[in-house]
Amino acid sequence: MTTAPVRPPAGALPALRPMRWWDVADVAALEAELFGPTAWSAETFWSELAAPGRAYWVARDDEGGLLGYAGAAAAGGDADVQTVATAPAARGRGLGDALLTACEDHATALGAGALLLEVEAGNAPALRLYHRHGFVQVARRRDYYGPGSDALVLRRRPPGGPPPADGPGGPGTTGRPRTTGTTGTTATTDDPDGAPTP
């Protein structure tokens, strides 16, 4: 199947479905295209699909072309957005919003007190998406994606969720180290104002 899908018609949003083993090759190919040297391998996606508390989704066009994917993990009272990605040809249609909403719904269904993620500090389209969804910055990881490429740690609490704890990291933090899988969180999204950059 192709990873260069046809742009969906205006207003059309493909249905999301759970990611399955037969999606991994296409997902890994799009991942490599979008994220280059920081891309997850096919083996990482296999591991994620097999791990408890994980949920992954894909969106495909009518011909089977991969338009985007996302995943979330929940453990220990919190959840993490593992990845959100949209193919360049599928951006600007709200697919990033739909994929992120799937992650939020997964976290809520599992009773997570917070949903966290890392995003490259310079990824303005992704940051706009996350801010629209109520994420706020709680930390910065210097050089997380390589020299000069910091990660921002963002958190979203569900409506009616528990109040933030005051930990060593300051108000609203627990001070615990965050891990989000074997290679860290990646994020690139669509935005109605323009095409994002991975």
CA–CA separation, 141 vs 110, rounded Å?
27
- Residue 6 lies inside a defined structural domain of this protein: no
- Residue 9 lies inside a defined structural domain of this protein: no
- Residue 195 lies inside a defined structural domain of this protein: no
Q: What is the pLDDT of residues 110-153, one digit of tens each?
A: 899 999 999 999 999 999 999 999 999 999 999 998 899 999 99
- Residue 66 lies inside a defined structural domain of this protein: yes
Q: Which domain covers residue 175, as residue numbers?
A: 16-187
- Residue 1 lies inside a defined structural domain of this protein: no
- Residue 3 lies inside a defined structural domain of this protein: no
pLDDT of residue 39: 93
- Residue 196 lies inside a defined structural domain of this protein: no
Query: What φ, ψ does residue 100 adopt, rounded to 5°?
Result: -65, -40
Q: What is the pLDDT of residues 66-108, one digit of tens each?
A: 999 999 999 888 999 999 999 999 998 999 999 999 999 999 9
Strand (E) or helix (H) holding 70: strand 66-75
**Domain CATH for 59:** 3.40.630.30
Query: What φ, ψ does residue 83 adopt, rounded to 5°?
Result: -165, 150
Total structural domains in the chain? 1
- Residue 4 lies inside a defined structural domain of this protein: no
